[in-house]
Amino acid sequence: MAKYYCFNAISEVGLKRFSNDYVKTEELNDAEAVLVRSADLHETEFPEGLKVIARAGAGVNNIPLDKCAEKGIVVFNTPGANANAVNELVLMGMLLAYRHGIEGNAWIKANKDDQDITKNAEKAKKAFVGHELLGKTIGIIGVGAIGVKVAHTAAALGMSVIGFDAFGIPDFRRAQLPEGTKIVDKMEDVFAGSDFITVHVPLTDATRSMINKNNMAMMKDGVVILNFARNGIVDNKDVAEAMKSGKVMAYVCDFPEVETANMEGAIILPHLGASTDEAEENCAAMAVDEIVEFIENGNVVNSVNFPSVSLERTGKKRATILFKGDSIVNKLDINVKNSKEATKNGYGVAIVDTDDDICPKCVSVEGVLKAQVI
């Protein structure tokens, strides 16, 4: 029986996907699997028996990926499971910025005791004249599951769409984009041609302060910048200055900090991107399925610190081996019936099927971090 531990509240819709062979534990040291949402695990001491951590969401900044890899712990995320929730929040952000909904509502609240509020509102509304989305252009930086949904939403509203991805846009993603999407090879083309710029990339050394004063200078006057990805991608100091000068009309961000919470002209939300019942259910279900697939079949799907490797079962026994180096299969003392292996960033996964018994010595070779026999 496999035991799992939850660092955060995980939707019951997901947890019910565990069979009776799985049981929840309140002791981390007893767990083979962990589910997490936003809890910070960087200072957590992981038990030796822990095999897998599944993040019910896309971002994994709260998980020490290298530390987990060194201990032979596979980390999964759930890409695309919350895509529609974020997509709808991007739409809300565009409308709030362009139609001054927050400012208008603030005026109503400030004048709620005015007995002539109906008449006076007709005069006051001149201060809240906005713009329409129809005919405007949105630039999407990062064309993954979320970016594709944003593109379709914008196109359905009569907007033009520009797409850019630093890693290139694979053919299957291109096919998912709405007709008429302009795909560019340079991020500068997004800056120059967009009324809205929305970022959907992870926070890495390459993307930190990716939106800064240098490329804001390339943008249209009155541009709206939307950040539903991560803090740090947009330079706070630079975007504040750009709003003061009028270069940027509004900065919409889903990640509050002291700086942004006090930033004039910014619309800051309390990390609502995946905060819908539907998204939490989808993420939990996907996370549980990844855990089950790994523990029961040894397949690695949507890993962020090891390569994803899957193999159809062909033998009576299976070993899934996590290792460091280029290859491990030929070093194993196993009569291999079928195998598959891959490496990523110095770490590898090998899946080996055999009709023979697999003893611990068979997989105890140099470079092996952890092995499980099924």
Residue 340 zone, left/alpha/beta (φ > 0; ψ -120 to 50; rest): beta
Longest dimension (CA), the chain: 87
Residue 59's pLDDT band (cuts 50, 70, 90): confident
Query: How far is it, in rounded angstroms, from Cα 190 to Cα 198?
Result: 10
Which of the residues 17, 271, 278, 313 is marked catalytic? 271
Residues of the chain with CATH 3.40.50.720: 1-82+277-305, 83-268
pLDDT greater than 90 at residue 364: no
pLDDT greater than 90 at residue 274: no
For residue 119, the one-letter residue type is K
Query: How far is it, in rounded angstroms, from Cα 338 to Cα 1?
Result: 27
**Fold topology of 306-374:** Alpha-Beta Plaits (3.30.70)
Which of the residues 100, 230, 280, 341 is marked catalytic? 230
Q: What is the DSSP string of 278-295?
A: HHHHHHHHHHHHHHHHHH
Q: What is the DSSP string of 103-116?
A: HHHHHHHHTTT-TT
Q: What is the pLDDT of residue 229?
A: 93
pLDDT greater than 90 at residue 243: yes
Contact (Cβ atoms closer than 8 angstroms) between residue 60 and residue 75: yes
How confident is the model over 121-179, as pLDDT tens digits? 999 999 999 999 999 999 999 999 999 999 999 999 999 999 999 989 999 999 999 99
Q: What is the pLDDT of residue 209?
A: 95
Query: How far is it, in rounded angstroms, from Cα 167 to Cα 207?
Result: 12
pLDDT greater than 90 at residue 277: yes
pLDDT greater than 90 at residue 326: no
* Residues in a beta bridge with 285: none
pLDDT greater than 90 at residue 215: yes
More confident residue, 330 or 25: 25
Residues of the chain with CATH 3.30.70: 306-374
230 is catalytic: yes
Region 1-82+277-305: CATH code: 3.40.50.720
Q: What is the DSSP string of 312-344?
A: ---SSEEEEEEEESS--GGGS-S--SEEEEEEE
Instruction: Retrieve residue 309's tokens.
Output: 């490797």
pLDDT greater than 90 at residue 301: yes
Region 83-268: CATH code: 3.40.50.720
Q: What is the pLDDT of residue 159?
A: 98
Q: What is the pLDDT of residue 198?
A: 98
Residue 203's pLDDT band (cuts 50, 70, 90): confident
Q: What is the pLDDT of residue 311?
A: 95
Q: What is the pLDDT of residue 360?
A: 83
Query: How far is it, in rounded angstroms, from Cα 259 to Cα 341?
Result: 46
Query: How far is it, in rounded angstroms, from Cα 14 to Cα 169?
Result: 31
Q: What is the pTM of this model?
A: 0.84
Which of the residues 99, 152, 241, 259 is marked catalytic? 259
Contact (Cβ atoms closer than 8 angstroms) between residue 231 and residue 207: no
Q: What is the mean pLDDT of the chain?
A: 95
For residue 111, the one-letter residue type is N
Query: How far is it, in rounded angstroms, from Cα 326 to Cα 347?
Result: 8
Contact (Cβ atoms closer than 8 angstroms) between residue 361 and residue 331: no
- Give percent of the chain above pLDDT 70: 100
Helix axis angle for 145-156 and 83-99, nearest 10°, is 40
Residue 328's pLDDT band (cuts 50, 70, 90): confident
The residue whose two tokens read 């926070």 is: 203
Contact (Cβ atoms closer than 8 angstroms) between residue 165 and residue 199: no
200 is catalytic: no
Question: What's the average model confidence in pLDDT over 261-279?
Answer: 93
SS3 (DSSP) at 34: strand
Residue 226 Cα distances to 93, 138, 205, 223, angstroms: 7, 10, 20, 10
How many alpha carbons lie under 13 Å from residue 289 in its C-beta half-sphere? 12
- Give percent of the chain above pLDDT 90: 89
Residues with Cβ within 8 Å of 186's Cβ and at least 6 positions away in sequence, in order, are 164
pLDDT greater than 90 at residue 330: no
